[in-house]
Structures are given as structure tokens and as C-alpha cells.
Amino acid sequence: MPATVLEKQKPLSRLEVAQLTEFAVDYGASLLMSGGEIWRADMMIRRIFDIYGFKNVELFILPHTVMVSVLPAGESEMVSVHKEVGEIHVNLEQLTVLNRLVWSLQKQTLPTAELGKKLRDITVGHVYPRYMIIAGMALALVSLSYYFRAGVMGAILVTIGIAVAMGFQMYLGEKLHVNRFLLCGAAAFLAGCVLMLGSAIGLHPDPYLLMVINCIGLIPGIPLINACREILFGKVLSGGLLFMTAFIETLAVACGFALSSLCLGFLL
């Protein structure tokens, strides 16, 4: 049954405002988890409320937090919803579809009760399988291996190393529930051990070159770019926090590779 267009002149009930606010927070969190910038989440959430007739909306958005407060018409108590943002898994296709969702609401304003289902359909249907993400990164690093003239065996070791590291992050990370920075360091350490052992048995003469190539696949490139864009847009606080988070993750990756070379360097 097609959704009916919501009458904009009719004030929303408190329940409808709560549903709209819940949707806006989930939408903002989905944007951030897909690799979107904080300024984008802020702009799109305000646009959602503007579509439904709310001009004054209080937002508090940080790299891992989204909080929205709005005052229903004729009431004195605000509706507030807060959500912790999960781990960032860059998915530009999903980010594009999320952007289109808001544009579609401007053409056909759905009842607030249907918004949550609309968002769930997007976030469930447009997430790439984990094996595909790992395979795509491995293919990119193989191309980089040939650029650095690492050879066939070097490309194979890089592929194994990035598969071990990203597999550890994606599959075991959810079960272990450890600190993100420790997880990045541990993944880099495992990849480094693979490369050091491969070099020790004579598969490649330069494990440190392979570590550099693997490191490029593990550093948080999109968050670093987003942090710079946040700062350029004048959002120094959120941009600085995002930059520090990405920088510490990068440092953890470097420390993981360094630790593997210290532990297994005697094999060379």
C-alpha cells in the first residue's frame, strides 16, 4: 500500500515527534558509520526536521555520538534521543542512498511511523559482505605491491597479511569487544608476524617494504580526510576530535608492525 503524504500544516503529536527524532538520530548515526562527515549529518538532520516543520532543533554530534532534542508544538518538555555511533565501516554506496532518502522525503513526506522501516531497509540492503571488503582491499594492495616492485611473492604475502588483519578486526573484534586502538594494534601485529615469517622462510627479502604496503590498507584514510574537511568547514572541535581518533588509530597500526618486527626480527 503506497504511503500517504503527510499534511505539513497538521502539528505532530508527541509520539510522532518521538518517532521522527528517533529516526533522525538513527539516520545521523548511519551516516557517520558509513563514512559521512559530521557537518553532513548535522545538515541532513536539520533538513529532515525542516521538512516536518521544525526550525529550532538542538543537535550535539561528535564522531561517536549523536543527540537530538526538539520541542513539540504546544508543549514545554523537549523530546531528546541519544545514540552511540558504532564502528565506522566506509560504504560510499550506502552513503549515497542515505542522502537520496532525505531528498525523496522532500517530494513525498512519509508518516513518521514508516521512517524507521525505510532506514532499516537501506542499512540492511546496502552493506557490502565482509569478504568482499577484504578482497577489494587486497586487490588494491596487490596493485600497490607491483608499483613498489615487491614481486609476486610479495603481493601474495601482502594479501595474506591484510586478510589476517582485516579478518581479525571484522570477525574477532565484534566478539572480543576490546578498545578500538588495541584492536588496530593487534591486527597490525598479526599482519606483521605473517610478513616477518614469510621473509624468514625466504619468500621475500624485504618484510619492511611489505609492512609499509599493508599499513596503507589499515590506516583510517577516510576519517583523516573527513577530519580535515570538518576543520576547513569551521567545525574545529569535532574535526580535531576526529583527527585525534584517526591519528591514534594510525599510531596503533604503526606500533603493531613495530612490535612484530621487534619480536620476530631475530629470524631474519
Cα 164 to chain centroid, rounded: 20
Total residues belonging to the chain: 268
Q: Which of 102, 86, 99 is nearest to 47 (CA)?
A: 102
- Written as tens digits, the pLDDT of the chain (268 aa) is 344 444 445 778 889 999 999 999 999 999 998 888 888 899 999 999 999 988 888 999 888 889 999 988 778 888 999 998 877 777 778 888 899 999 899 888 889 889 988 888 887 655 667 888 889 999 999 999 999 999 999 999 999 999 999 988 887 766 777 788 899 999 999 999 999 999 999 999 999 999 999 999 999 888 888 888 888 888 888 888 889 988 999 999 999 999 999 999 877 6
Neighbours of 106 (CB within 10 A): 11
Query: Phi/psi of residue 68, each to 5°?
Result: -130, 135
Neighbours of 247 (CB within 10 A): 15
Q: Which of 50, 42, 8 is nearest to 25 (CA)?
A: 42
Residues 40-46: contacts with CB within 8 Å, 24+ apart?
41/66, 44/98, 44/99, 44/102
pTM over 0.95: no
Helix, strand, coil fractions of the chain, as percent rounded to 5: 70, 5, 25
